[in-house]
Amino acid sequence: MQVTELDELIVKLIVDSGHPEIDSVERVPTPGRPDNHTRLVVRFASGASATIMVPLVTGGGVSHERYQLPAGVL
C-alpha cells in the first residue's frame, strides 16, 4: 500500500461513515514533498479539526498480499 492509497482509504472511510459532526475532509499536500506526502485535515461542526499524517508505509513487496484493515478497527 502506498501513502496515497492509504490517504484515499482513510478519506473514503471517514466520508462513508456519514457522521453528522464531520463537515469536511481535505487532502493537503506537505510543502516539502507535495507529490507523495500529504496530510488529511478533518473539520468538525464544532469548529475543531484533526490532522492525520502518515509519512511512510512500509513492509511487503511485490509478492506481498495487500494489507486489509481488520473489520473491528473500522
Domain assignment of residue 72, yes or no = no
Domain assignment of residue 40, yes or no = yes
Between 34 and 72, residue with greater pLDDT: 72
- Model pLDDT, residue 74: 67
pLDDT tier, 52 (very low <50, low <70, confident <90, very high otherwise):
confident
Domain assignment of residue 71, yes or no = no
Between 49 and 53, residue with greater pLDDT: 49
Supply the pTM of this predicted model: 0.63
Domain assignment of residue 34, yes or no = yes
Structural domain count of the chain: 1
Domain assignment of residue 67, yes or no = no
Model pLDDT for residues 9-48, shown as the tens digit of each residue: 888 999 999 999 999 998 887 777 666 667 889 999 999 9
| pLDDT higher than threshold 90 for residue 72 | no
Query: Whole-angstrom Cα distance, residue 40 to residue 73?
Result: 19
Range(s) of the domain holding residue 26: 3-58
